[in-house]
Amino acid sequence: MGVSEKMRLAILSDIHANLHALEAVWADVELQKPDRIYCLGDLVGYGAYPNEVVDFLRSRAVPTIMGNYDEGVGFDLDDCGCAYRGAAERERGDVSRLWSQAHTTVENKAFLQGLPMQIRLEESKPTLLLVHGSPRKINEYLFEDRPPATFERLAALAGTDLVVFGHTHRPYQKRVGKALFVNVGSVGKPHDGDPRACYAVLELGRERGVELRRVDYDVAGAAEAVRRAGLPEAFAEILERGGPPIAAGVNP
């Protein structure tokens, strides 16, 4: 596909072992008829279906980059690269990490270990950089209210005027100078008060556009699966209300 041709991309991120949400989003993606589908990582953690989510994307050969949780689980690290607001939240995060490490198969951990840190689409117009947190760090929280100078530095580092990422679980698009930054939100663990799954559809080429799509799914079923798995009640409640109270520090 040449650089001047129209390209339609579906981009998912932060599924966090929520198979209910992933299946609903996939059905919506198929209706959009994208040319390509990408995933920005964090397949596992917090949810009850780490292997099912990894298998779902592997079986469909979806190009996927490594999220901080994929790294923590895949390599059995002592930390997932998350930010916590207090000791209780950190303790719950440790429970999630240890549970995910214990319940993810060796084969799927090997898959997570092999994921790339970023994907650059040189043939797209403009050149598109896909990352998990930011162009400089896998677990950087690039919130919309960061200073413009931060976005300018990241655009220069990325060497492109279109950067697509996730990690904060809060979707937005923000233009700073010539650069457009798109946070595609979270499929499986939204943090913006909307419990629906979220992903992005990008139109590239002469005519460009970004659509942040929200998809209804069986939230109650996903929350019940979390409870049955013995994971912290707070994780089920986050699914039900679409995230914790809005704050600068979150734990995706």
Torsion of CA 232, 236, 239, 245, to 10 degrees: -60
Enumerate the domain spans of the chain. Answer: 7-241
What pLDDT, on a 0 to 100 scale, did the predictor assign at position 252? 58
Residue 241 pLDDT > 50: yes
Residue 207 pLDDT > 90: no
Q: Does residue 67 contact residue 12 with C-beta atoms inside 8 Å?
A: no
Residue 251 pLDDT > 70: no
CB under 8 Å to 38, separation ≥6 — which residues? 9, 10, 11, 12, 62, 63, 64, 65, 119, 130
The pTM score is 0.93
Between 245 and 29, the more confident residue is: 29
What pLDDT, on a 0 to 100 scale, did the predictor assign at position 123? 77
| Confidence category of residue 1, pLDDT binned at 50, 70, 90 | very low
Percent of the chain at pLDDT exceeding 70 = 95
| Confidence category of residue 5, pLDDT binned at 50, 70, 90 | confident
- Which of 43-57, 87-101, 104-118, 132-146 comes out lowest in average pLDDT? 87-101
User: Superfamily assignment of 7-241 in CATH?
Assistant: Metallo-dependent phosphatases (3.60.21.10)
Residue 82's Cβ-side half-sphere holds a number of Cα atoms within 13 Å equal to 29
| Confidence category of residue 250, pLDDT binned at 50, 70, 90 | very low
Residue 245 pLDDT > 80: no
What pLDDT, on a 0 to 100 scale, did the predictor assign at position 146? 95
Identify the helix (H) or strand (E) that includes residue 214. strand 209-215
d(CA 82, CA 153): 23
- Which of 100-104, 148-152, 238-242, 246-250 comes out lowest in average pLDDT? 246-250
Give tens-digit pLDDT for 77-97.
998 888 888 888 889 989 999
